[in-house]
Chain A
């Protein structure tokens, strides 16, 4: 008997019935996604922090000292929650959209599509990895901001919930963009013509309540307004809308996007054709 035969005798050539675990499938994809963003940590974790620091220096330190804001909140304090949330949102979107789109573009998505991973497992694993990266970036931005100003941290649990649901919402949006896009050009439409205007017109650098009509009204249809205000309220204890309203809107929108993502993973001809 050959050495190969002897070795094959010692191992099971087929996986026994009942040895498959759905949770392990999810856990493995989550691990892969975390390894992916850690393998390019300079790009995925460090670069957003540098960008946010520059924003803090320009808008918070340099221009902020010239902006009279009224009340107990300084301009830099006003801007910090928005900058941290912008880091969270951008990184949640970038993590899912780039990972999935590059896999589609290079073809290694086939490695996943032949496995028994279900739409729910894709959704949970991609979203969870994006949330981890986004929250890590958000935390580091807040850490850097602490060098420039101190925040009241009025409702820390609410702040974590708002950051988490914001990351989830834009992780899901990133999945939709990646599943829909057939080219880098299409993907950039989502980033440049949807994500960026939503972020910058959502009250990141200014209070929406001070905008004249109709922009004041229009801004209230921007989901980012609810995310930023909810997060700002949680950190500073003051804001234009309550945490409950912000959180409810964010969870509702996430549920809608999750439904679209599940459909796209399950049935979209853009994935399996």
Chain B
């Protein structure tokens, strides 16, 4: 019998409240290594909170999250080395240039700079002409490109992209998704949240849809869509209060 794979990301009975608001409510799901997994939902559905809990940015109340078998609470050092996160919010460091920041970011993870990998990211994300600039001088799309590069600079096994293409031009989107597909083919697991449902449909092998903190659908993209479009399915599910797992 083949040995079962350790999930890249395993979430069990995860709950998180902000005051009386249940941002994540008893969420359980498992993402296998090598997947491109879409986590979708309307604004306030709990996607970003789930991502923050998985990456250590927030503390969970109950439940558990493990990354490649390592519990994020018990073994934060191991799990954070494995995860690359591109935040949804654009965060700005006004003191350093993006070239300096990119150089430093791998070091925070305890890694030596790999110039070839860094140059590859810079080239693929078209950042070469901007490395001497501070973030506040960049356009919105350029900031997002830099944030993608930063999420990948330490070569994570699990890449989490929280709305990576919001405000990004078409050319870069195409280049970014080509790159994501390529590193995914080489083993990087990708978790993606996006409001561009056509992107999720084209990229993701499986999709989970959240609404009001709860998981309302989880299936392969093909099964979920059946003979409809993802947009129609999404609207039906997020209007409904009942889970249709």
A residues with a Cβ closer than 8 A to B are 4-5, 7-8, 10-15, 19-25, 27-29, 31-32, 35-36, 39-40, 103, 106-108, 110-118, 269, 272-273
Contact = CB atoms under 8 A, between A and B. Distances in A.
Given A36-B96, A113-B57, A8 B182 contact: yes
Contacts of A114: 55-57, 80, 83, 85
5 contacts: A8-B186, A20-B110, A111-B108, A114-B80, A269-B59
Given A113-B56, A272-B56, A106 B111 contact: no
A112 B92 CA distance: 12
A272 B57 contact: yes
Contacts of A27: 107
Given A107-B89, A269-B59, 8 more contacts: A10-B116, A11-B114, A15-B81, A15-B111, A19-B112, A25-B109, A32-B104, A111-B105
Interface string B114-156: 1011001000100000000000000000000000001000111
A4 B80 CA distance: 27
Interface in B57-95: 57-59, 76-78, 80-81, 83, 85, 87, 89, 91-95
B126 to A, nearest CB: 14
A20 B109 contact: yes
B57 A13 contact: no
Contacts of A31: 104, 107
Nearest to B92: A106
Most chain A CB within 10 A, of B81, B91, B110, is at B110
A268 to B, nearest CB: 10
The dominant DSSP class at the A interface is helix
Contacts of B150: 111
A28 B187 contact: no
A76 to B, nearest CB: 37
Contacts of A108: 91-93
Interface of B: 55-59, 76-78, 80-81, 83, 85, 87, 89, 91-96, 100-101, 104-105, 107-112, 114, 116-117, 120, 124, 150, 154-157, 178-179, 182-183, 186-188
A15 B109 contact: yes
Contacts of B104: 28, 31-32
A25 B156 CA distance: 16
B100 A35 contact: yes
A115 B109 contact: yes
A222 to B, nearest CB: 34
Contact of B109 (A4, A7, A23, A116): A116
B64 to A, nearest CB: 17
B183 A111 contact: no
Contacts of A117: 108
A7 B178 CA distance: 14
Contacts of B76: 116
Nearest to A17: B81
Contact of B117 (A4, A11, A24, A40): A11
Contacts of A40: 95
B95 A35 contact: yes
Contacts of A107: 89, 91-92
